[in-house]
Amino acid sequence: MEVAYIKTPLGIAKIEGDSDGLATVTVLDDTEELTTVIPEILEDVVYQLQEYFEGKRETFDLVLNPSGTAFQKTVWDALLQIPYGKTCAYLELAKLLGDPKAIRAVAAANAKNPLWIIVPCHRVIGSDGSLTGYAGGLHRKKWLLEHESPAKQQSLF
């Protein structure tokens, strides 16, 4: 498994993957030494993440290989269907998966998403529109949703 640490506007991202695909992308609160030479197998991931943060990329084209249960993978696949700049409530996601009673299981699977930003768990919000639960911290979730918002705040000056 190859590993790279890159700087993002939200902290240091740890990226892990191999020839089978991208396994994890996590954001760290502590400081890690940045990777000076990105492993070849991770170069495209780093490039696409940089484009995302520069506002030049809305979707990712990567081979994904996260570890998880069959149910978690089903939830993560559903997250990939939430378009850039849009949000979905946990209840909507549970209904989309065929069982509105599974809302807590869906939320738990969402929280275990190992592919930060790539699988957009940050686009899932509370039914009342609130920013609920985000493993990377609500300040990051808010930043990501504002970054993806089609209506950017304009400066008056």
| Domain regions of the chain by residue span | 2-53, 70-148
Asked whether the whole model's pTM tops 0.75, one would answer yes
CATH 3.60.15.10 fits 70-148, yes or no: no
Using DSSP, how many helices (H) and how many strands (E) does the chain show?
Answer: 5, 5
Residues with a known catalytic role: 121
Low-confidence stretches of the chain (pLDDT < 50) are 155-157
User: How far apart are the C-alpha atoms of 63 and 21, rounded to whole Å?
Assistant: 5
CB 47 within 8 A of CB 13: no
